Amino acid sequence: MSIQQISAPQAAQALEEDKEVVYLDVRTVSEYFAGHPKSALNIPVVLPNPATGQMTPNPECLPTVEGNLPKDARIIVGCMSGVRSQFAADLMERAGYQQVSNMQGGFAGTRDPQGRVVVQGWRDSGLPVESGDGGVSGYEALLKKVKH
């Protein structure tokens, strides 16, 4: 199976039409805090390594997803530009999730080497954005549900 690719407007339409659809933001907590689609869940797929400053896979990502979302949930995965979300969607599909879509362009859009937007993201499409920790939708709250 291959992951379905959808645009930000298609993702927004799916979320509007079906309240059961989940938007999973796999960016870091600080990226999510700065701005995210309304009602998005935040479970980072990679985290900064304090020792090196490099991004490393988050070992808690898949267990946190599995502890919060059933395998038959309809999930749209998004990140900043669409790369990390594709990685997360592939990971989830291998774990048995059947209805996973990758949102191309992510939150901020995909850019070419000259910095021009080649795929508009959520923010640039003028879709609803909120900021803050997301409360029960934030990573800390979702992680606690799994590690209680």
CA distances to 18, 19, 146 from 83, rounded to whole Å, are 25, 26, 26
- Domain residues for 105? 4-147
Q: ∠87-69-140 over CA atoms, to 5°? A: 80
Residue 53: predicted pLDDT: 85
Closest C-alpha among 72, 85, 4 to residue 37: 85
pTM of the predicted model as reported, rounded to 2 decimal places: 0.95
pLDDT of residue 7: 96
Residue 20 buriedness (CB in 10 A; 0-12 / 13-18 / 19+) = exposed
Number of compact structural domains in the chain: 1
**Crossing angle between the packed helical segments 139-147 and 61-68, to the nearest 10 degrees:** 80
Structure tokens at 79: 């990140």
- The pLDDT averaged over each successive group of 10 residues in the chain (148 residues) is 90 96 97 95 94 92 97 97 95 96 95 91 94 93 86
pLDDT of amino acid 2: 79
